[in-house]
Chains A and B, each alone.
Chain A
Amino acid sequence: MLACSFSVSCTDPVKDRAIERLGGEDPAVPMGPEHRPGQPCVLCHSEGGPAADKPFVIAGTIFESNSKDAKGAEGVQIFFIDAASATRNYETNAAGNFFIPQAEWNDLTFPFKTGIVAKDGKQFPMTSTVNREGSCNFCHKPTPGSPYSLPTDDPRESIGQIYASTPGSMGGSQ
């Protein structure tokens, strides 16, 4: 009983509820870099989360289009510039996911800018900065009706999924 109460008092109930709302794993997708596209990755991949042993500083998903039927877009380049002018470039995997492990950018300084790089090298930046949230999908939730959309996703709280319907184009962002 005592251990239980200690255990409860050491967790963040808001975070716990948010993680619970994500639901279980898709049995068709092994747990790993391609799991849970469209979900707020850093929620679990951070201190106090079930994947705290693999912490990320930034992570998200880019879809092929803005359609609810869109799949994750593979091979899309994303660039980041933080408030200390440090830069990073990453590429989406087969699920459209990308992630920056904490060990690879431990001194990331918010706010940061980001965007997609077209195959011809042209950059399509997000027009606003990211101020404090490392999970891109926290603001860019999947299009309602998408198999990746959660029943609890509220369209009032989402600017739309990030997508690359033509090489390098970026939608659903500011």
Chain B
Amino acid sequence: MSKRITTGLALATWFAAAGIVATGSALCSACSSPDSTQLSPLDLPDKTQFMTQGVGLFMEKRCGALDCHGQIGRPLRIYSANGLRKNDGPNGTRDTRPTTADESLANYYSVVGLEPEEISIAHATKGEFIDFLLLKKPLGIDQGGVRHKGGSVLRSTDPGFDCLITWVSGNADKAKCDDGAAQ
């Protein structure tokens, strides 16, 4: 009986040791650094146009409400003066400044980071490729897009849709963006 227990313990120890070696090996493999020479630079839509040609404003007004994308827990986080702020104001009050450059920049990264590869293709093809979430989500299923929890919030004929298309294509149409923001 005692020998059986000893044998059992020995086997258990062996399996445990083998397991540790295997796990360690797998972890080592998983932790190895990616090959930096294999990175593909992305050709993203222009940051300055986003911040100065009304694209960011359109996103703030139409997507950044506190009950939509102006929420910390929601994908495509959008900051704005009238929605989610990046920082507190003085003494823990609300920041009442207009949307800051820092927030606008964060919004840009949020938008291009939604599907970086796809939006990069769209930019490279100057809007020929439009099969990406930034355009499909706001249409909702009703307008030929994809399921959007906030429903269909744009039509493909809306100035806001043109705002996004023109920006992704490389030449943001400020008038369309302003119209889209005002709707």
Contact = CB atoms under 8 A, between A and B. Distances in A.
Contact of A158 (B68, B72, B94): B94
A1 to B, nearest CB: 28
A46 to B, nearest CB: 14
Given A138-B66, A156-B94, A131 B82 contact: no
Interface string B51-82: 00000000001000111101111000000001
Interface in B90-146: 92-95
A128 interface: yes
A132 B68 contact: yes
B24 interface: no
Contact of B66 (A110, A144, A159): A159
B4 interface: no
A38 interface: no
Given A155-B93, A155-B94, A131 B84 contact: no
Nearest to A109: B151
B86 A144 contact: no
Interface residues of B, number: 25
A167 B119 CA distance: 49
A139 B89 contact: no
B94 A132 contact: no
Interface string A123-148: 00000111111000011000010000
Interface string B153-181: 10000000000000000000000000000
B35 interface: no
B150 interface: yes
Contacts of B94: 144, 155-156, 158-160
Interface in A153-167: 155-160
A138 B67 contact: yes
Contacts of B68: 131-132
Contacts of A131: 65, 67-68, 150, 153
Given A132-B150, A155-B94, A139 B85 contact: no
B45 interface: no
Contacts of B88: 155-156
A174 interface: yes
A138 B67 CA distance: 8
Contact of A156 (B95, B149, B150): B95
A110 B68 CA distance: 12
Nearest to B82: A174
A139 B72 contact: no
A157 B92 CA distance: 12
B71 A157 contact: yes
B66 A139 contact: yes
Interface of A: 14, 110, 128-133, 138-139, 144, 155-160, 174
Interface of B: 61, 65-68, 70-73, 82-89, 92-95, 149-151, 153
19 contacts: A110-B151, A128-B61, A129-B65, A130-B67, A131-B65, A132-B67, A138-B66, A138-B67, A139-B66, A144-B93, A144-B94, A155-B88, A155-B93, A155-B95, A156-B84, A157-B70, A157-B71, A157-B84, A158-B66
- Nearest first, the 4 closest Cβ-Cβ pairs linking A and B are A133-B67, A139-B66, A155-B94, A156-B85
